[in-house]
């Protein structure tokens, strides 16, 4: 228990629903289309391939960046009005080439802190990401990481990957007709994105995907130690990348699922209230990069009741009200175009609450 003379660690977050006190919100400044690569192709819907081939290594359209930036500012204002302290990363030049032996790349953005950093308790973990374009993405967050570390947080990093050709299956093809999932990445070295993990106190839910391999999951399991239990789930998703549009714990005993991907709820959640997300309402003509329409599930819980939801997503707003939650509405559809929503665009640095077991 903290006494008046005990310093409070600036980083402390164990789940997705304890009262939110401090959060990092990403930026889209300088967002750049990644160079063409097999690892990117495996995660893209078919109708996006042409755009990425034609514009590889170029900035995203300036008007889309500007619109998304306005919506991020709106999210910041909403969170601050709800009493949450908001921090932002610093812009870096995403067009500047970088590389390692055997490859070169340009960057992507610093829009999705949930992808690159994983908070478990007081530990800020930099993730060893599988996309070459994201190799140096944590650079934008370095000033904040240093500040949090000096304030008493732990600062860890997964093994920095080489991202050599051996990591990628260049003969990769998508599984069809209910066949087993085939990842575009091999087990050459550990890689994982933080967004392939959902925290639920002592239990953490994970999935293998086109960016997260078994090697990476095992590294995290050993790093966290026996205090935590990592459960690896498989879903009906032919090109998985990030679990937070598939299975989302909302509060103790309450689970949101993607009805298309979670056809059988894991036995671990027996006795929980299971809510099936409504069909996404994003219009067919709305431009989306690097994502499906199931971003309606990519919500941010401010506590066990308040939830940030896209203002135009009327089916999800109605569903949350029916389920007993309080939706907080925020325009975010232009930001959605860049491959994420409220959960992706934020990193909950501090929530008021301690480590518990919910099972």
Catalytic residue (one of 18, 313, 344, 348): 344
| 193 carries an active-site annotation | yes
Contacts of residue 356, Cβ cutoff 8 Å, sequence gap at least 6:
14, 15, 201, 202
Apex 246 CA angle, 341 and 57, nearest 5 = 50
**Burial (0-12, 13-18, 19+ Cβ within 10 Å), 238:** middle
Q: Token pair 């990403």 is at which residue?
A: 26
Apex 73 CA angle, 70 and 77, nearest 5 = 140
- C-alpha span between 330 and 356 (Å, rounded): 31
- C-alpha span between 225 and 229 (Å, rounded): 8
- C-alpha span between 123 and 13 (Å, rounded): 9
Catalytic residue (one of 18, 193, 237, 348): 193
Q: For residue 143, give both structure tokens.
A: 């000033």
| 9 carries an active-site annotation | no
Catalytic residue (one of 203, 242, 330, 348): 242
Q: Among all residues, which ones are annotated catalytic?
A: 193, 242, 344
């Amino acid at each position: 228990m903290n006494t008046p003379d005990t310093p409070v660690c600036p980083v402390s977050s164990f789940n997705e629903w304890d009262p939110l006190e401090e959060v990092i919100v990403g930026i889209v400044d300088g967002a750049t289309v990644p160079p063409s690569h097999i690892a990117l192709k495996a995660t893209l819907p078919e109708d996006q391939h042409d755009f990425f081939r034609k514009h590889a290594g170029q900035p995203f359209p300036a008007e889309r960046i500007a619109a998304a930036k306005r919506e991020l500012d709106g999210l910041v204002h909403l969170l601050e009005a709800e009493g949450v302290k908001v921090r932002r990363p610093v812009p870096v030049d995403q067009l500047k080439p970088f590389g390692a032996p055997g490859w070169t790349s340009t960057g992507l953005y610093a829009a999705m802190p949930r992808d690159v950093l994983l908070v478990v308790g007081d530990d800020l973990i930099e993730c060893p990401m599988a996309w070459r374009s994201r190799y140096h993405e944590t650079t934008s967050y370095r000033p904040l990481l240093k500040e949090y570390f000096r304030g008493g947080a732990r600062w860890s990093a997964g093994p920095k990957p080489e991202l050599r050709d051996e990591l990628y299956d260049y003969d990769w093809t998508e599984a069809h007709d209910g066949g087993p999932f085939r990842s575009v990445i091999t087990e050459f070295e550990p890689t994982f994105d933080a967004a392939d993990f959902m925290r639920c106190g002592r239990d953490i839910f994970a999935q293998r995907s086109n960016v997260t391999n078994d090697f990476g999951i095992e590294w995290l399991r050993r790093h966290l130690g026996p205090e935590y239990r990592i459960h690896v789930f498989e879903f009906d998703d032919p090109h998985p990348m990030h679990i937070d549009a598939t299975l989302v714990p909302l509060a103790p005993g309450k689970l949101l699922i993607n009805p298309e991907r979670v056809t059988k709820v894991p036995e671990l959640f027996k006795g929980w209230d299971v809510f099936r997300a409504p069909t996404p309402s994003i219009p067919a003509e709305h431009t989306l990069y690097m994502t499906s329409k199931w971003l309606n599930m990519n919500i941010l819980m401010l506590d066990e009741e308040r939830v940030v939801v896209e203002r135009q997503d009327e089916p999800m707003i109605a569903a949350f009200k029916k389920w007993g939650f309080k939706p907080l509405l925020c325009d975010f559809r232009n930001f959605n175009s860049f491959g994420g929503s409220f959960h992706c665009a934020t990193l909950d640095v501090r929530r008021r609450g301690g480590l518990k077991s919910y099972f």
